[in-house]
Amino acid sequence: MDGWTMIGIKRMRPNPVPAARETADTPDWRSAILADPSRVLADAELMNTLLGVQADTNVTDLNAAARARLQSEITLLKAANKDLLDRLRGNLAAQASAHAAVMGLMDEPSLSALDRRLAGHTATTLGLEAVRVCLEGITALPRAIAILPAAPGLKMAMMGEASECLGAPDPRLSAPIYGVQASRVASEAVIALEGRGFSGVLCLGSARRDAFRLDDAADLAHFLARVLERRLEALMER
């Protein structure tokens, strides 16, 4: 038996043991631990030894349980923080893409040029399979791809009184809207359009099933739709 007093065990007082003489080669454990306590706290076996907890005991170690619970909470917080940062980075990237797409739309001098921009640069910039603008009552543009005429009542049939509709595309309308690309559109954001002389919908089709979900925010899609409304008004009046 050594000279240390064991917790929970009564024993006779040991004979005094002369203190070891410190030398220059003796490690300064106290200073080392104070400088970096995590080296001790991270070692479960060492902490149990310091607290007098034996590995095979049936006694509940409240300190160990509290540490385990705290560690679990820290792990969850780290995971939540990483998820938040990932979402933030994704939102910033989406915002930058939306701004780039909008700037491109503002430069087009005609409806035909706007149609080509929407079908090509806008869809590519936003990472979409297809972009469609369906306007009720307009005359079809020659060789149009993105700006399409629609029958009266299309917007009401697709959205009712809502201003947006996110999720899987309606199989009844997907082919007429997206054409040959319909089979590759797994999710879509449909935003209502309303301007001087026209009414319709902006359809953003993605090949990713999780790109547009029912509970997602559609602020950037609405921003794109509002800018598109203004540009359509200006070009249709010419």
Q: What is the CATH number of the domain that holds 141?
A: 3.30.450.40
Calpha distance 189→184 (Å, rounded)? 15
What is the reported pLDDT for 79?
78
Clarify whether residues 133 and 185 are in a common domain. Answer: yes
Q: What is the pLDDT of residue 113?
A: 95
Q: Are residues 42 and 104 in the same domain?
A: no
Please give the radius of gyration of the chain, using alpha carbons only, rounded to the nearest integer. Answer: 34
Could you say which of 39, 59, 79 is where a domain stops?
Answer: 59
pLDDT value at position 231? 94
Residue 189 has pLDDT above 60, yes or no: yes
Residues 44 and 130 in one domain: no
Q: Does 141 reside within a domain?
A: yes
In the DSSP assignment, the letter for residue 20 is: P
Q: What is the DSSP letter of 201?
A: E
Best-predicted range by mean pLDDT (16-25, 94-103, 114-123, 229-238): 114-123
Domain with 47, as residue range(s), is: 29-59
Q: Is residue 228 part of a domain?
A: yes
Q: pLDDT at position 128, please? A: 94
pLDDT at 24 over 70: no
Residue 57 has pLDDT above 80, yes or no: no
Q: What is the mean pLDDT of residues 140-166?
A: 92
Is residue 64 domain-resident? no
- Report the Cα–Cα distance between both ends of the chain, in Å, rounded: 101
* Nearest residue to 130 (alpha-carbon basis) of 67, 180, 63: 180
Asked whether residue 114 falls in the same domain as residue 232, the answer is yes
Does the predicted model carry a pTM greater than 0.75? no
- Average pLDDT taken over every residue of the chain: 81
Residues 110 and 227 in one domain: yes
Say if residue 49 is in the same domain as residue 102. Answer: no
Give me the pLDDT at residue 112, please: 94
Res 55: pLDDT: 53
Say yes or no: 53 and 121 in one domain: no
Q: Is 79 within a domain?
A: no
The reply to whether 1 falls in a domain is no
Positions of E strands within the chain:
130-136, 147-150, 164-167, 187-195, 198-206
Length of the chain: 238
Q: What is the rounded CA–CA span in Å between residue 232 and residue 226?
A: 10
For residue 167, list its beta bridge partners.
Answer: 188
Phi, psi of 233 (to 5 degrees): -60, -45
Angle value at C-alpha 63, between 62 and 65, nearest 5 degrees = 65
Residue 77, domain member (yes or no)? no
pLDDT at 226 over 60: yes
Q: What is the three-class DSSP state of 206? A: strand
Is residue 155 a part of any domain in this protein? yes
Q: What sign results for the dihedral spanned by CA atoms 78, 83, 89, 91?
A: negative
pLDDT score, position 106? 87
Quote the tokens at residue 138.
Answer: 């307009």
Tokens of 167: 């999720």
pLDDT tens per residue, range 78-113:
877 777 676 656 666 667 777 777 888 888 999 999
Shared domain check, 104 and 55: no
| Residue whose entry in the numeric block shows the structure tokens 């024993």 | 11
Mean pLDDT of 56-77: 71
> Are 149 and 47 in the same domain?
no
Q: Which of 59, 75, 104 is the last residue of a domain?
A: 59
How many alpha carbons lie under 13 Å from residue 33 in its C-beta half-sphere?
A: 10
8 A C-beta contact, residue 135 and residue 149: yes
pLDDT tens figures, 128-151: 999 999 999 888 899 999 999 999
Say what the pLDDT of residue 4 is: 34
State how many domains the chain has: 2
Tokens standing for residue 133: 């603008």
Question: Residues 42, 107: one domain?
Answer: no
pLDDT of 13 strictly over 60: no
Same domain, 108 and 198: yes
CA 193 to chain centre: 27
Residues 103 and 162 in one domain: yes
Flag whether 203 is in a domain: yes
